Amino acid sequence: MENRLWKPLALLAPAMSAVLLLLVIPVCFIVVYSFWLRSPTGADIPAFQFGNYAKFFADFFYPSILIRTIRVSLETVLLCVVMGYIPAYFFNRSKTKNKALLLLLIMLPFWISFIIRTMSWINILGDTGLINHYLLKIGLLSRPLGMLYNEGSVLMGLIQYLLPFMILNIYVSLEGIDKSLLEAARSMGCTEWQAFREVTLPLSLPGVSAGCLLVFVLTAGTYLPPMILGGPGNQMIANLIFARVIGTLDWPFGSAISVVLLALLVIIVWTYNRYLGINQIFKALQ
């Protein structure tokens, strides 16, 4: 009995130790720092007070950035669902022998640095970028279009980063659908569209939900696309945290903003689990 108990614990020990050291303990430090005070000289004073949180909610400038982060995250989720379901469905229905190659192409962007992928949009959307260069050359424009440093360019950078996650989640969900259900639907007189609407789409929703949750969480905590592709009015919460911690060395206030973001994401995940159930995602991905 003891061997049965210790073997799983021994196998889990390295992974659990890594999670404890690299995730749990740093988060605990951030939570503790969020209650500290920052003296006029710039020194951090150990304390237990809620002044940093009051400072965040007292000035609407900070909550407005949080609201913008939520809005951009929802827009990214919606666009990734619309743009990701079609290729995932195509891969699932494809009879080609090169399906593995198609999936490899989806994962190919992960082999390139996220920074390089994000900065590549400057050469595409900039005033002297690829699009403006050819539009000016063929005479459709008299001056370059301002396609950079706005919310649209930030969304493009986020979609480029997160779309593969959505496609893979939906594809795995579609692969788990029993093909005999579709055959049964067709045998009962359903058209291809009816079979998709009544069978494929409902059964693939757990995968869509998994992709939405993953994309939302990653977008809410992203830093690079808003910094590189966004303008002064497109700052997101991660950029605000960086500015406070690195720019002004205000660790207590930066930690408080981090805790607010973490609490928001925990509430979203808890709400999802309460009304939809995360266990349904894992069932769909098995």
C-alpha 166/C-alpha 171 separation (Å) is: 8
| Domain parsing of the chain, residue ranges | 56-285
pLDDT of residue 279: 56
Give me the chain's average pLDDT, please. Answer: 87
Spatial contact of 85 and 170, defined as CB atoms under 8 Å apart? yes
Q: Does the pLDDT of residue 285 top 50, yes or no?
A: no
Neighbours of 262 (CB within 10 A): 15
Q: Does the pLDDT of residue 188 top 90, yes or no?
A: no
Long-range contacts of 86-91 (CB under 8 A, 24+ apart): 87/167, 88/166, 88/167, 88/168, 88/170, 88/171, 88/174, 89/170, 89/174, 89/200, 91/167, 91/171
SS3 246: helix
pLDDT tens-digit map of 54-111: 999 998 999 999 999 999 999 999 999 999 999 999 888 887 777 778 888 888 888 8
Spatial contact of 31 and 53, defined as CB atoms under 8 Å apart? no
Pick the CATH number of 56-285 from 3.50.50.60, 3.30.70.60, 1.10.3720.10, 1.10.1060.10: 1.10.3720.10
Provide the pLDDT confidence category of residue 2 given band limits of 50, 70 and 90.
Answer: low
Spatial contact of 77 and 216, defined as CB atoms under 8 Å apart? yes
Tell me the two tokens of residue 66.
Answer: 């949080």
CA atoms within 13 A on the CB side of 161: 29
Q: What is the pTM of this model?
A: 0.87
Question: Of 219, 216, 218, 201, nearest to 88 (Cα)?
Answer: 201
User: From the centroid of its chain, how far is CA 47?
Assistant: 34
